[in-house]
Amino acid sequence: MRFPNRKEGLAQIQCTLASARRKAEKMVEVKRLAYVVDDEEIIAKTLALILNASGFDAVAFTKPLEALRAAETRCPDFLITDVSMPVLNGVELSIQFKAIYPTCRILLFSGALSTSPLLKSAEDRGHTFFILAKPVHPNELLETLNQMV
């Protein structure tokens, strides 16, 4: 390539590089990071496997505090958590995540009717979350996550 002057040549190269970068970004699919938290390891790992197979980068946790610690270095796009867990329940975990990482989308799931008071308490404090009933069908999980984007 020949350019009348150096300035035009540099501008043309920068434009070509920017165009190539945009094309490369479109070609590289960015996986959304999802943290799955459930004190039942089989559930956490199974949901993470489903999400990984569906194009997410999912990490399973059985301890809510470990998920909070991991977010310090790599904040997830999604937090998917069971409501009923020892030490720190999913509602309180979600409230903490929202306070620290406001862009993180949160999905709760529960198989226990006893979680209603926890959800009501959070709502009374101004927190509302998406919630699914356990057992959650993979298609319903993925549809809900897509609606949250």
User: What's the pLDDT band for 113 if we cut at 50, 70, 90?
Assistant: low
The domain limits of the chain are 1-28, 33-148
pTM greater than the 0.85 cutoff = no
pLDDT tens per residue across span 50-65: 999 999 999 999 999 9
pLDDT tens per residue across span 15-29: 566 555 555 555 456
SS3 track for the chain: CCCCCHHHHHHHHHHHHHHHHHHHHHHCCCCCEEEEECCCHHHHHHHHHHHHHCCCEEEEECCHHHHHHHHCCCCCCEEEEECCCCCCCHHHHHHHHHHHCCCCEEEEEECCHHHHHHHHHHHHCCCCCEEEECCCCHHHHHHHHHHHC
Looking at the domain 33-148, which fold is it? Answer: Rossmann fold (3.40.50)
pLDDT tens per residue across span 85-100: 999 999 999 999 999 9
